[in-house]
Amino acid sequence: MSDDLTLLCVHAHPDDESSSTGGVLRTYADAGVRTVLVTCTDGALGDSPDGVAPDAEHHEPGEVAAHRAEELRTASAILCVTRLEMLGFPDSGMEGWPQNEAPGSFWSTPVDVAAQRLLPILLEERPQVVVTYDANGFYGHPDHIQANRITVAALAASGLTATLLYTAIPKSAFKRFRTVLEEAGIEGPGSDGEDPPFGTPDEQIGIIVDVTDAADAKFDALSAHSSQTDDSFFLKMGRDKFRELFRREYFVRAQDPFGRTGVDDDLFAGWR
């Protein structure tokens, strides 16, 4: 029975839910699990719908935020998310941008203050499994790092017993991914020959979920974020390659009440 199981994912920007956990969100929703998505920022420092970059003069953060909220609602519907909560913190931009320190930005908000926004949702939902990024925010983006920090803080403050998982791409999967992109002549992370700021040693992966049946939904959810993804390697590779590359999602156990070891194939391992 999945009736009493709840999965809660904390993400930084609209579109992160689809790229990093679209597969599990849809897979577990299909299995009858309650799924809760918390998106921390408004994504106002992304590209505008007509492709205006955030550092351009006529970039309108308010319009971008409204558009991205709409995209997020569409993607959440595709992923069959039960409850979507947007915390609405102003996007802090990429590392080193002046907006990092803008008053009220997600990054500049003290962790305990921002965590207070997540805490009531945790207490209402009482999820068995919470998913976010690792302490490096998966790839170093300030808002992703902050998402990790407030999740850890709010979970501790909640007193809940939950499994806390971090999204991950194992190094072996990344190698495969790079080969496929190279063969297709598509630029993506690592195409410049540099190692990207992510990639987890395979032996640290604690859970691998088969999301084959949700791969199309994940592709569609990413497509729903067209203002950010139209030009992305995700969509350029096409549905077939995407399905092949994204049929699994990987997680590192950060807190596990059951002390499990080895590799599980279920986020709720130990809970059922």
Q: Please report, as ranges, the residues that interact with Zn ion according to CB under 5 A.
A: 12-13, 16
Query: What are the φ and ψ backbone dihedral angles of 191, each rounded to 5 degrees?
Result: -65, -25
140 conformational bin, left if phi > 0, alpha if psi -120 to 50, beta if neither: left
Other Cβ atoms closer than 10 A to 98: 8
To the nearest whole angstrom, how small is the minimum distance from the Cβ of residue 228 to Zn ion?
A: 9
Nearer to Zn ion, 16 or 264 (CB): 16
Shorter beta-carbon distance to Zn ion: residue 65 or 269: 65
How many CB atoms within 10 Å of residue 238? Answer: 11
Closest Cα partner for 15 from 239, 162, 220? 220
Report the run of H or E that residue 14 belongs to, with start and end. Answer: none
Closest CB 16 distance from Zn ion, rounded Å: 4
State which amino acid sits at residue 182: E
13 or 26, CB closer to Zn ion? 13
Q: Which residues contact 76 (CB under 8 A, 6 or more apart)?
A: 17, 37, 84, 221
Q: Which is nearer to Zn ion, 16 or 134 (CB)?
A: 16
Q: Which residue has the closest beta carbon to Zn ion?
A: 13
Nearer to Zn ion, 128 or 200 (CB): 200
* Alpha-helical regions (H) of the chain: 16-30, 61-78, 111-125, 142-158, 171-184, 215-224, 226-229, 233-236, 238-245
φ, ψ for residue 100, nearest 5 deg: -50, -45
| Nearest distance, CB of residue 115 and Zn ion, angstroms | 19
Residue nearer to Zn ion on the CB measure, 16 or 47: 16
Give the nearest distance from C-beta 53 to Zn ion in angstroms. Answer: 16
Do 8 and 122 meet the contact criterion of CB atoms below 8 Å apart? yes
Supply the minimum distance, in Å, between the C-beta of residue 65 and Zn ion: 14
Min CB(269)–Zn ion separation in Å: 27
